[in-house]
Chains A and B, each alone.
Chain A
Amino acid sequence: MDINMGNGGIGEPVVRRDAMAKALGLAQYAADFPHENTAYAALTLSKVARGRISRLDTAAAEAVAGVRLVLTHRSLNESLGDETFVMKGGHMQSSFLPLSSDEIHYAGQIVSLTIADTQEAAEEAARLVAIDYTTEPASASIDDAGLTEEPADSGIDVGDAEAAFAAAEVKVDATYLTPAQHHNPIELYAAAAAWRDGKLLINLPSQWVMGTRAGLAKVFGIPVEDVQVESPYVGGAFGAKASILPHVVLVAMAARRLGRPVKLVVPREAGFTVGSFRPAARSRVRLAATREGKLTAVMHDEVGQSAVIDHVAFPGMEATSKMYASPNIRMRSATVATDVNTPGFMRAPAEAPSFFGFESAMDELAVSLGIDPVELRIMNEPARDPVSGLPWSSRSLVECYRRGAALFGWSARNAKPGSMVAADGTLIGYGCATATYPSAMAPSSARVRLAADGSCVVYCAAHDVGTGAYTVLGQVAADVLGVPDELVTVEMGHSRHPSGPVSGGSITTGSAGSAVHMAARAVRERLFATVAGGQDRTKMTLADRHVVLPDGSRRAISDIIGGLPGGVIEEQADWKPTDMDDKTMRQGLAGGMAFAGPVGETHVSFSFGAQFAEVRIDPLLRTIRVARMVGVFACGRIINPRTARSNLMGGMIWGASSALLEQSQVDRARGRFANTDLASYHFAANADIGEVVVEMLDEHDSVVNAIGAKAVGEVGIVGVPAAIANAVYHATGVRVRKTPILMEDLL
């Protein structure tokens, strides 16, 4: 067991600060907080995909013993503030709030919320809400006839890609399909709302407590100070828990109306339509190269599923356009509006689907050229961003490939498809693919308190959604202040703390970590100033709970701070990315969306990884197993290699799950998701996963932010689906251009 070594500062594999509370069952998630006299809520969902409610009868539901309220579009009957959709600058998951009218926009839309004294009574009554609908035809699939593609943006153009493609010696032109997928965190969506003296306290699993507070204040027309959002632990999020889902508003409304706390745990099947999902996408990739393997044209046209009620697009071309050196690049993105709940962010929302196609196409090009796929990528490594011409803040992709190939044993690969066969006849395939993810950042505040006993507390309204942020942010403070890890505590996940950013886009460590770093340095400066007495503060250091002065003498922190009024030094810092203006920073700190990067004024910042997979395929049944995976990543400075490794490993398993198992199947006749439970929406279980090797390169990035940390959370998933598809091709000679790759695709 490699339990904590060293002082617990940056780079140490500190044990997850919250691990024991979680292992003991003591960590409190949203539905675990007790509220006296809680009433329980249950949902009724629309059975049709499009139309209107023609008849609504709640009498039977209201007659159930213990029922207190049946909230429908008729009884809602109150106006709400004009809070908007998260992608229009607001905080709502959708611009459409269920119960705001009799309109049905998608199957599984909330049509009533029933509240009772017990969970059992609420569920019984919710089933008795009688509704008839007038229906209209609906499309929940981008493959339905009669749908039109709308351009999502103006695209990216470098050189003349069409002409270069037409003139090329070797080319690939293929289309790849990825299905809708749902996040399915094990913690269900939930909300518990309690009002006291006109103030709202809400427990919900949140990746964005500051945004949720700002949004709910606007919805209910009350000052932001009168809303508190509590979310100390989040049972998995993956992008699903960043914006305000409709049930949260309805639960808070019901609690206000009843004058007692109301709690709703959204059932698994309802989560498929109460929350968001990863939209289906179609990628056409065209690559052209010289016979020697130099890319001459890179083209990527992506069509993504959007919703009639909200236009959303997650084009991956910002990333795919930057992967390889090519004088000619052409990228286009379009969307198709469908009658579904609004799609949203899901782990690497833009990158994961687009890289399946893009990195599969690179493999197809390698096959056409007869060049090793690792070498093809290395020979097209761009010295600068091929779109903006700016330098990288750091880019170690080639080193990732070299190290990954060695770890994986890539040199043992016989390039001929179907040529590697185990003694029992099992077909063996090796595949590789590139992963990348932008290192964006958002403004953040943080407060650090150092007490005379050497204990240190970090406060920040950021979140640990399982990523290790509780541990990592404490390490940043410990590193600056020379405090041993056991004396550090970190308080997060509550809107009363100094503003933290949305925990999305892999920004927490770089953003909140930079704010903690700034606040801790301010604490250290005050410590030094207190003892300076004319000595040079820049030559002072902190070690072992002492200030070491330039003359070599030592002063105990306990003596310095003990003599101060209050017995603590406490400093708050407001940090912003270098390129961001003050107005944008203030918007961000007030709970608005405010991002900088990955393309800055002077540099472009992405994390990179090289991913390898070995598949084993039964020669007759064509069952596919992922025997092992290797991922080598360059994500700048790794604050905690233990938590970062787990995060990247989990991402890679998501990739394998996406490649072979995950799809939200659409019942096209009824315009709805068909497999809305975990018995039929499959994702990886323990037995699906073999060996997973993760390494992180020691990469120094002095540009990206003060602590040199790039994005870790999402890059892990990005290349794996293509690496597996490429391995499947290598094992069988069958190129599958869609996920999930199923045994019937190989027959």
Chain B
Amino acid sequence: MSGNDTMGNAAIGPRMRVTLTVNGTDHDIQLDPRTTLLDALREHLGLTGTKVGCNHGTCGACTVHVDGRRQLSCLMLAAAAAGSAITTIEGLAGADGAPHPMQAAFVAHDALQCGYCTPGQIMSAVACVAEGHAGSDDEIREYMSGNLCRCAAYPNIVAAVREVAGSTMAEAA
């Protein structure tokens, strides 16, 4: 499509080169240094499974894992994530393409309605279990409270996390 600018402003803004390692793959991209990890994933790498809900770190929809820890990707500059291993919702499934047990548990327990907060909920839920913060329903509620669900699927989210945590603990025993 041809540009039909009303402004004679042809220059593009500042640029920097960043290598992001996302779901095991290196991506070499040029971006504005102010770009957040969230916007880099969504707008530069086309990984739109990570959602934008507030850009303030208040809703949790943009939760990803950075070096195995949960991270609100709206509060991290993409440049600051260079050199780290980033996992998004698209990278959770197993090598055989089978859904992660947490993804399967969310489906089985109807732990989602509109689905928009779901990728962030699932990324948090996986981390919640790995952190050892899924020992009781109350603990799950507390450690899943950084992820808001306006449809309010909360009791079903707790059930999904409880199921995965239970089977994880059974495996460890």
Q: List the interface of chain A (C-beta within 8 A of B).
A: 1, 3, 15-16, 18-29, 31-32, 34, 36-37, 62-70, 75, 116-121, 124, 183-188, 233-238, 257-261, 265, 267-268, 465-468, 642-643, 645-647, 649-650, 653-654, 657, 677-679, 683-689, 691-692
Contact = CB atoms under 8 A, between A and B. Distances in A.
A120 B52 CA distance: 15
B82 interface: no
Contact of A69 (B7, B52, B148): B7
B35 A684 contact: no
Nearest to A646: B110
Contacts of B51: 29, 186-187, 235
B35 to A, nearest CB: 6
Contact of A467 (B6, B113, B119, B148): B113
A265 B52 CA distance: 9
A722 B154 CA distance: 22
A237 B118 CA distance: 15
Contacts of A21: 115
A23 B122 contact: yes
A259 B155 contact: no
B103 interface: yes
B27 interface: no
Contacts of A678: 53-54, 56, 58-59, 148
B5 interface: yes
Question: Which has the most chain B C-beta neighbours within 10 Å: A24, A116, A265, A653?
Answer: A24
Nearest to A1: B108
28 contacts: A19-B106, A23-B107, A24-B93, A24-B103, A25-B48, A26-B90, A27-B115, A36-B1, A65-B12, A69-B6, A186-B116, A187-B114, A188-B53, A188-B54, A233-B115, A235-B51, A235-B116, A236-B113, A237-B114, A257-B4, A258-B3, A268-B53, A466-B151, A646-B156, A650-B152, A677-B56, A687-B142, A687-B144
B61 interface: yes
Given A27-B115, A649-B152, A687-B142, A642 B110 contact: yes
Given A261-B1, A686-B145, 7 more contacts: A66-B9, A68-B7, A118-B12, A185-B114, A235-B117, A466-B114, A466-B115
Question: Which has the most chain B C-beta neighbours within 10 Å: A28, A119, A650?
Answer: A650
Contacts of B158: 686
Interface in B1-22: 1-7, 9, 11-14
Interface in B45-100: 46, 48-56, 58-59, 61, 88-90, 93, 99
A657 B151 CA distance: 12
B129 to A, nearest CB: 15
A675 B104 CA distance: 37
B118 A23 contact: yes
A120 B116 contact: no
B155 A118 contact: no
Interchain residue pairs A-B with the least CB separation, the first 10: A25-B49, A235-B116, A22-B115, A466-B114, A25-B89, A466-B113, A653-B152, A32-B48, A259-B4, A678-B58
Contacts of A1: 108-109
B141 interface: yes
A258 B151 CA distance: 37
A205 to B, nearest CB: 9
A336 to B, nearest CB: 28
B43 A119 contact: yes
Interface in B120-173: 122, 138, 140-142, 144-145, 147-158
Contacts of A677: 54, 56, 58
A650 B9 contact: no
Contacts of A645: 110
Contacts of B37: none
A25 B60 CA distance: 15
A246 to B, nearest CB: 20
Contacts of B155: 649, 689, 691-692
A25 B9 contact: no
Contacts of A687: 138, 141-142, 144-145
A187 B1 contact: no
B143 to A, nearest CB: 9
Chain A binding surface, main DSSP class:
loop
Contacts of B42: 31-32
Contact of B113 (A20, A121, A646, A679): A646
Contact of B32 (A23, A118, A261, A265): A118
Contact of B53 (A37, A120, A186, A688): A186
Given A26-B49, A120-B32, A267-B55, A259 B89 contact: no
A129 to B, nearest CB: 14
A688 B145 CA distance: 9
Contacts of A657: 152
Contacts of B50: 25
A261 B142 CA distance: 42
Contacts of A69: 5-7
Given A65-B9, A67-B9, A260-B3, A23 B58 contact: no
B5 A258 contact: yes
B58 A120 contact: no
Nearest to A196: B1
Nearest to A693: B155
A624 B70 CA distance: 30
A653 B7 contact: no
Contact of B114 (A64, A235, A268): A235
Contacts of B43: 119
Contact of A62 (B9, B11, B48): B9
A37 B93 contact: no
Contact of B1 (A24, A26, A259): A259
Given A466-B115, A686-B147, A258 B6 contact: yes
Contacts of A186: 51, 53, 59, 61, 114, 116-117, 148-150
